[in-house]
Structure 1
Amino acid sequence: MRVDWYRIVFELIDMRSFSNLWFWIILAVQWSMTSHFVLGVPYDLLQRARRGHEQAQEDLEALARIKVNRLLYITHVSGMWIVGFVAFVLSVLLILGFFYNIEFAQAVFCLVFPMAIVGLLTLGDAHRIADGEYQGQALQRRLLFLRVKTQAVGVLAILFTSMWGMYQNLQIGALG
Structure 2
Amino acid sequence: MNWTSTLFEVIDMRSFSNLWFWIALAVVWSSVSHWVLGVPYDMITRARKKGGEAQQDLEDLVRINVNRLLYIGRVSGLVLLGFMTFLLTSLGLMAFWYDVEFAQAIFFLALPLSIVGALSLSTARRIEAEEPRGEALHKRLMRHRVITQFIGMISIFVTAMYGMYQNLLVSPGF
Matched AA of 2:49: R
For 2:17, what is the secondary structure of its paired residue?
A: coil
- 2:24 maps to 26
Aligned ranges for residues 156-171 of structure 1 at < 5 Å? 156-171=154-169
Q: 96, 99, 104: which is aligned to 1:98?
A: 96
CA separation in 2, counterparts of 1:66 and 1:133? 13
Deviations 1:115-159 (A, max 9, x none): 000011111010000113311110100000000000000000000
Q: What's the CA shift for 1:175?
A: 6.3
Is 2:19 the partner of 1:36?
Answer: no
Q: Which stretch of the first structure deviates more once superposed, 125-134 or 114-123?
A: 125-134
Matched AA of 1:113: L
Q: What's the CA shift for 1:13?
A: 8.0
CA separation in 2, counterparts of 1:158 and 1:14? 20
Matched AA of 2:58: L
CA separation in 1, counterparts of 2:173 and 2:104? 19
CA separation in 1, counterparts of 2:135 and 2:11? 49
CA separation in 2, counterparts of 1:79 and 1:13? 34
CA separation in 2, counterparts of 1:55 and 1:150? 27
Q: Gaps spanning 5+ residues in structure 1: where?
A: 1-5
Q: 128, 131, 134: which is aligned to 1:130?
A: 128
Matched AA of 2:65: K
State the TM-score, normalized to the length of structure 2.
Answer: 0.91
- Identical pairs, percent: 54
**Following TM superposition, where does structure 1 have runs of at least 4 consecutive aligned residues deviating by more than 6 angstroms?**
none
Contact map agreement 1:128 1:134 (CA 8 A) in 2: no
Q: 74, 77, 83: which is aligned to 1:76?
A: 74
Q: Gaps spanning 5+ residues in structure 2: where?
A: none
Matched AA of 2:135: Q
What is the total number of aligned residue pairs between the two structures? 169
CA separation in 1, counterparts of 2:18 and 2:52? 46
The verdict on how the C-alpha distance between 1:106 and 1:169 changes in structure 2, with shifts beyond 3 A counting, is same
**CA RMSD, 1 decimal:** 2.0
For 2:14, what is the secondary structure of its paired residue?
A: coil
